[in-house]
């Protein structure tokens, strides 16, 4: 008996250990803290592998994407808030010594495209449902006509009651299907709106993404002064290397918020990786340059530290290039000029902008 009990305990311990390993790997892959709320969310996924939650998470993370706090909350979980970066008074600046490198991050548009594809599948299913209802309605019309003829041909009250009951059942079935179709249509409207929004927004910074930026540029039209700026965080790879990608993500979010605040009234988008784009419409070159220079100076004046460890990140700066056009021109041409100016600013020492 004791041997059997020990074997059972060992098997149970091994199963618990394996489950713990899977939960730990999930939290590490998604860069989620070991908060009990995240653990409970992961536990549901790992213990109900065929459930709706696990399948939804699998769909959202296909292609190497990580879950956002908004994803977790929409799936019924509770996201733990990451400790924010703190700003400390600026110490004297030390010269930068490490070399520039770029850390690429996945494009959120691919995830949004997946949502749109799923919504399109729902639309196809809704179309099939409507077709089925139409077929049943046609059958019901024929049955109704036949039943009416039968009622006229009989004087049997019981038979009249039976035929009436059959017709009533058809009516109730059609009403039920139409009610379901109405609910489905409402859910589809919500899903389409969400997919449309996600297709144009970066999940990490909550800024418009490259697709939204391109659409805004196309809408700006000719005849108005237009300036496009590209901003790239200086030596961002060193932040990731020294403090990890979770802190790097928070730095990206902080810079995104600072740019949005300093360039209020203009479109600020995440263009990819650690690069941001700003669209100035209806303002002259001097105003656009002054606004972007103010944003650069505000960011450069901040000093960041990791609140959990109090480790000093220090200054995080960006370089920028800004190019203008006052006529109908492909965005690619304007971006190419802005990109060349950006790298001129990099080569000149970083933490500055060039305009052309």
* Residues 21/76, Cβ–Cβ less than 8 Å: no
Q: Is 274 a catalytic residue?
A: yes
- Quote the tokens at residue 162: 């039976």
Query: For 72-78, which contacts have Cβ atoms below 8 Å and span 24 or more sequence positions?
Result: 72/38, 72/41, 75/41, 77/37, 77/38, 77/40, 77/41, 77/44, 78/37, 78/41
- Residue of 255, 197, 256, 203 lying closest to 31 (CA atoms): 203
Segment holding 279, helix H or strand E: strand 275-281
Residue closest to 285 by CA, chosen among 322, 255, 241? 322
Q: Which of 62, 274, 293, 308 is catalytic?
A: 274
Give 3-state DSSP helix, strand, coil % of the chain, rounded to 5.
60, 15, 25
Checking 347-351 for CB contacts under 8 A at 24+ apart, the result is 350/96, 350/100, 350/234, 350/235, 350/317, 350/319, 351/234, 351/296, 351/300, 351/317, 351/318, 351/319
Q: DSSP code of 327?
A: S
For residues 195 and 114, give the distance between their C-alpha atoms in angstroms, rounded to a whole number.
Answer: 9
Helix or strand run (H / E) with residue 344: helix 331-347
**Can you tell me the distance from the alpha carbon of 205 to that of 255, in angstroms, rounded to the nearest whole number?**
9
The answer to whether 218 touches 328, Cβ cutoff 8 Å, is no
What DSSP state is assigned to residue 317?
-
The strands making up 303-306's β-sheet, listed across from edge to edge, are 86-88, 303-306, 311-314
* Catalytic residue list: 274
């Amino acid at each position: 008996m004791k041997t059997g009990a020990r074997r059972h305990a060992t098997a149970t311990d091994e199963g618990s250990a394996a489950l713990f390993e899977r939960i730990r790997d999930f939290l590490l892959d998604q860069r989620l803290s070991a908060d009990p709320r995240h653990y409970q969310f992961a536990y549901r996924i790992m213990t109900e592998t065929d459930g709706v939650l696990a399948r939804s998470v699998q769909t959202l993370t296909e292609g190497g994407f990580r879950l956002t706090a908004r994803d977790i909350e929409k799936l019924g979980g509770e996201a733990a808030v990451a400790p924010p970066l703190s700003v400390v008074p600026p110490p004297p600046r030390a010269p930068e010594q490490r070399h520039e490198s770029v850390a690429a991050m996945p494009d959120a548009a691919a995830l949004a495209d997946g949502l749109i594809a799923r919504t399109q599948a729902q639309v196809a299913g809704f179309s099939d449902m409507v077709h089925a209802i139409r077929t049943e309605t046609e059958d019901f019309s024929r049955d109704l006509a036949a039943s009416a003829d039968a009622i006229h041909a009989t004087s049997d009250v019981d038979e009249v009651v039976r035929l009436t009951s059959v017709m009533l059942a058809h009516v109730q079935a059609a009403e039920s299907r139409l009610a379901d179709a109405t609910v489905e249509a409402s859910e589809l409207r919500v899903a389409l709106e969400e997919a449309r929004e996600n297709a144009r927004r970066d999940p990490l910074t909550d800024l418009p993404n490259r697709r939204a930026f391109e659409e805004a540029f196309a809408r700006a039209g000719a005849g108005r002064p237009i300036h496009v700026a590209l901003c790239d965080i200086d030596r961002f790879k060193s932040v990731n290397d020294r403090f990890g990608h979770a802190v790097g993500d928070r730095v990206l979010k902080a810079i995104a918020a600072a740019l949005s605040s300093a360039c209020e009234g203009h479109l600020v988008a995440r263009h990819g990786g650690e690069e941001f784009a700003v669209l100035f419409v209806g303002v002259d070159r001097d105003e656009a340059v002054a606004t972007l220079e103010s944003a650069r100076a505000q960011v450069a004046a901040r000093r960041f530290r990791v609140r959990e460890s109090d480790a000093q990140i220090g200054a995080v700066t960006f370089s920028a290039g800004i190019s203008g056009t006052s006529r109908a021109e492909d965005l690619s041409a304007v971006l190419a000029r802005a990109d060349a100016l950006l790298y001129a600013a990099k080569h000149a020492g970083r933490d500055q902008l060039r305009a052309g």
